Amino acid sequence: ALVSMRQLLDHAAEHGYGIPAFNVNNLEQVQAIMEAASETDSPVIMQASAGARKYAGEAFLRHLIEAAVESYPHIPVVMHQDHGQSPEICKGAIELGFSSVMMDGSLLPDGKTIADFEYNVEVTRKVVDMAHKLGVTVEGELGCLGSLETMQGDKEDGHGADGVLTLDQLLTDPEQAAEFVSRTQLDALAIAIGTSHGAYKFTRKPTGDILSIERVKEIHRRLPNTHLVMHGSSSVPQELLAEIRQFGGNMKETYGVPVEEIQEAIKYGVRKVNIDTDIRLAMTAAIRRFLFENPEKFDPREYLKPAREAAKKVCVARYQQFGAAGQA
């Protein structure tokens, strides 16, 4: 059944686990997530980014997720809008039937100018007002995703702050977070702790100076009852990079967020963990391998099947690692 995200996050908090929120763009990704959730008995958060809406169209995404709900009636499913850039965009998603929306007011609607605190409070509060009347959950964001190695904003998927940022901008301030939550009354708070979107997060396995789980703990200490969200939380498995390279891909050395760091964060209030890149890597590795090993094949179903299988494997692993397995 389609459920509100608040419901799932409250349950996760009560039982001390985290829920991976997977980005979806097409049929095979939706199927992979549902198969993984059904096999592990896990609750599902599927989210559509602006890029996904542009690629597939809102109607296709909505009906794909509705098909998932219909095919797996025993699994609770949240249909979440990822990174809404304005209250108008969130309003549109709510009207389409999304059960949860993110108002990302950390940036202005251009997606690259850092917004001031008052702007962020105002737009987030506005979305909360319209969403809560309809039982729709709201995620907000305070702080700017970006790298503590380069002090650059998140750039890989085309949105993210321009220029060189300060430590204050790249790490969410616990005191400001408390004010933000109390003034907006949002349901879930996305925080900046050194993660960024895409495959190129860290040039080495991250240590505490470039991935601040310490900051998660400080925010949780100040806001013990707020559900925290980690964006940019793909782990970028080295074996998937190796497989991509082995079958003709060209990806440079890079590191993601280690699963054990996410597990630590889940002990301190992180309830929603956003993952897109790991599914992309898994599908690409499988497709490259298949086409390399079967150069005569041309039926998309034949290479999308192993791609779907590889995506499912990632989802099963995250459901188990974050403690969501068995919680549906």
Among 105, 140, 198, 269, binds ligand 13P (CB under 6 A): 198
Q: Which is nearer to ligand G3H, 105 or 220 (CB)?
A: 105
Residue whose CB is less far from ligand 13P, 37 or 294: 37
Give the 3-state secondary structure of 3-37: CCHHHHHHHHHHHCCCEEEEECCCHHHHHHHHHHH
Calculated CA dihedral for residues 165, 111, 314, 200, nearest 10 degrees: -40
Fill in the amino acid letter for 209: D
Can you tell me the distance from the alpha carbon of 178 to that of 303, in angstroms, rounded to the nearest whole number? 48
**Contact between 155 and Zn ion (CB under 5 A)?**
no
- Among residues 6, 9, 23, 262, the one that binds ligand 13P under rule CB under 6 A: 23
155 binds ligand 13P (CB under 6 A): no
Among 29, 124, 137, 233, binds ligand 13P (CB under 6 A): 233
Q: Dig out the tokens for 167 from the structure.
A: 């430590």
List CB contacts of 23: < 8 A, sequence separation 6 or more. Answer: 29, 46, 47, 48, 49, 52, 82, 274, 275, 276, 279
Closer to ligand G3H by CB, 49 or 327: give it: 49
Q: Is 272 in the site for ligand G3H (CB under 6 A)?
A: no
> At closest approach, how far in Å is the CB of 313 from ligand G3H?
19
Q: Is 174 in the site for ligand G3H (CB under 6 A)?
A: no
Exactly one of 10, 41, 82, 278 is catalytic; name it: 82
Please, which residue, 31 or 274, has the CB nearer to Zn ion? 274
231 near Zn ion (CB under 5 A) = yes
Could you say which of 2, 10, 27, 51 contacts ligand G3H (CB under 6 A)?
A: 51
* Residue 204 zone, left/alpha/beta (φ > 0; ψ -120 to 50; rest): beta
Do residues 255 and 236 touch, judged by C-beta distance below 8 A? yes
Distance, CA of 324 to CA of 307 (rounded, Å): 23
Name which of 172, 173, 288 is nearest 231 in CA terms. Answer: 172
Please select the residue that binds ligand G3H; options are 4, 11, 18, 23, rule is CB under 6 A. 23
Q: Which is nearer to ligand G3H, 82 or 173 (CB)?
A: 82
93 binds ligand G3H (CB under 6 A): no
> Smaller CB distance to ligand 13P: residue 1 or 115?
115
Does the active-site annotation cover 82?
Answer: yes
Candidates 233, 239, 311; CA nearest to 275 is 233
- Report if residue 141 touches ligand 13P, rule: CB under 6 A: no
- Of 125, 197, 289, 308, which one interacts with ligand G3H (CB under 6 A)? 197
C-beta of residue 111 within 8 angstroms of C-beta of residue 162: no
CA dihedral 7, 8, 14, 17 (to 10 degrees): -170
**Residue 137 near ligand G3H by CB under 6 A:** no
Q: Is 18 in the site for ligand 13P (CB under 6 A)?
A: no
Q: Using CB under 6 A, which of 125, 159, 197, 220 touches ligand 13P?
A: 197
Neighbour-count burial for 1-22, b at 16+ CB within 10 Å, e otherwise: eebbbbbbbebbbeeebbbbbb
Q: Which residue among 10, 41, 157, 162 contacts ligand G3H (CB under 6 A)?
A: 157
User: Given the rule CB under 6 A, which residues bind ligand G3H?
Assistant: 23, 49-52, 82-83, 157, 197, 276
User: Given the rule CB under 5 A, which residues bind Zn ion?
Assistant: 231, 274
Residues assigned a catalytic role: 82
